[in-house]
Structure 1
Amino acid sequence: MDLTPVLALVERRRREAGRPVVVGVSGHGGSGKSTLARALVEALPDAVRLRGDDFLDPARVHRRSADWDGVERDRLATEVLRPFRDGTPGEFRRYAWDLGRLRDPEPVPRADVLVVDLIGLFHPDVLALLDVTVWCDVDPEVALRRGMARDRAAGNDHDRVWTQVWGPNERDFDAAFAPREVADVRVPNP
């Protein structure tokens, strides 16, 4: 995976902004968003990652929706993205999947770069808060198969949810918001 174009753009945006910058990594479920986000954090000085899964509503993310309604974009924007970019103190709460509730508040991280990886991230509600947008460019059917295989390997049989909810949600979101087209950089992950 060649990160050179992404790293160059992040450095340019850091210089231009004169403040901390947010890198949004999105793509279909199973496209490699988390892997790409971790690689970016390793390659960028003073960068931290925020898992997008911490900003999913467990009930809504398992329902059909044309705009990935289960992604809590407002909470992400209000609690993390705005304070991080402004360099102001703030607190946010991650969703604790093991506990079935939000965790106790923790401080918004301080760094030069925040990398957020999340499905449905390139939505008008948060797009203006992302300084760099990176799309994991994988064929949707390949991503779907990878996601299902990953879940099965982890002992989770989510095949029905992948085929009846998440796959259709991805297609609807693509049709409504063209996330691949709004990305600054597309990183292939064949």
Structure 2
Amino acid sequence: MTAPAHVVELVASMAAERPAGLGATRLVCVDGPAGSGKTTLAAQLGALLPAQVVHMDDLYEGWTGMRAGVDRLVEWVLEPLAEGRPGRYRRYDWGLGKYAERHSVPLADFLVVEGCGSASLGTERFSPLVVWVEAPDDVRLERGLERDGAALEPAWREFMREEREHYAEHRTRERAHVRLDGTGNLVED
């Protein structure tokens, strides 16, 4: 999914209007179910703002690590930035099943965090702009299996179940400032 330029520009202007909740840094959380198009949108925002993009997939310890990944985001990245220090994290390598290289998250005007759980209730104190991206389950599953391979269908289905529970608990869609469909267009409720 590549969002239309006017949508990316709208989201970027909304981000610029948000209070800086991480010291002097404004936080943009691009959240929504797996396979909806979050990564592509985050890359577009990162280029336009400009901003570093942190991927939640780098913070999960594989398919069952969403909750712990959210905790790592807050502890390793958001809290240090809010205290005026750079954030740091180790990228989890899903293929090797262990942590890999370290990444620094410098103090900057904007930070974009994308991925399932990025806009959890635990991020609210950092005043994020919450962008919700959604697509039908069958489309998401097809995209995921095309990317990851058909052998991972059971893992995908379990992750989809886990994320539904997470989003119900955190009311992420309801708290979003802007909602996009899986093609990058605005969703009007």
The more displaced of 28-37 and 118-127 is: 118-127
Query: Structure 2 residue aligned with 1:160, among 154, 160, 177?
Result: 154
Question: How many positions carry a matched residue from both structures?
Answer: 178
Q: Structure 1 101/142 Cα, relative in aligned 2: closer, same or farther at 3 Å? A: same
Identity %: 33
Cα distance in structure 2, aligned partners of 1:189 and 1:6: 16
Look up the match of 2:18.
Answer: 13
Q: Give deviations 1:33-87, integer Å, cap 9, x for gaps.
A: 1101001011113x111111111022633xxxxxx43x42222111111222333
In the TM superposition, what are the counterparts of 1:96-107 in structure 2 within 5 Å? 96-107=93-104
Q: Does 1:72 align with 2:69?
A: yes
C-alpha separation in 1, matches of 2:102 and 2:117? 24
Q: Give the TM-score taking structure 1 as reference length.
A: 0.81
Q: Which whole-Å deviations, capped at 9, do the CAs of 1:118-149 have from their partners, x for residues lacking one? A: 11223222333352111113233322232222
Q: Specify which of 174, 178, 188 is matched with residue 181 of structure 2.
A: 188
Q: Which 5+ residue runs of structure 1 have no aligned equivalent?
A: 62-67
2:22–2:83: 8 Å Cα contact kept in structure 1? no
**Which stretches in structure 2 are left out of the alignment for 5+ residues?**
184-189
Of 122, 130, 133, which residue of structure 2 is paired with 1:133?
130
In 1, Cα distance between equivalents of 2:97 and 2:127 = 29
Does the C-alpha gap of structure 1 residues 147 and 104 become closer, same or farther in structure 2, counting only changes over 3 Å? Answer: closer
Q: Is the 8 A contact 2:63 2:155 kept in 1?
A: no
Kept in 1: contact 2:20–2:127 (CA 8 A): no
The alignment's C-alpha RMSD in Å is: 2.4
What is the aligned partner in structure 1 of residue 38 from structure 2?
A: 33
Partners of 2:59 and 2:20 lie apart in 1 by 29
Of the three residues 116, 140, 143, the one matched with 2:140 is 143
1:52-63 equivalent positions in 2, closer than 5 A = 52-58=56-62, 60-61=64-65
Mapping of 1:80-95 within 5 angstroms? 80-95=77-92
Match of 2:186 in 1: none
User: Helix, strand or coil: the match of 1:103?
Assistant: strand
CA distance in 1, matches of 2:43, 2:112: 8
Secondary structure of 2:116's match?
coil
Q: Which whole-Å CA distance do the structure 2 matches of 1:103 and 1:171 have between them?
A: 29
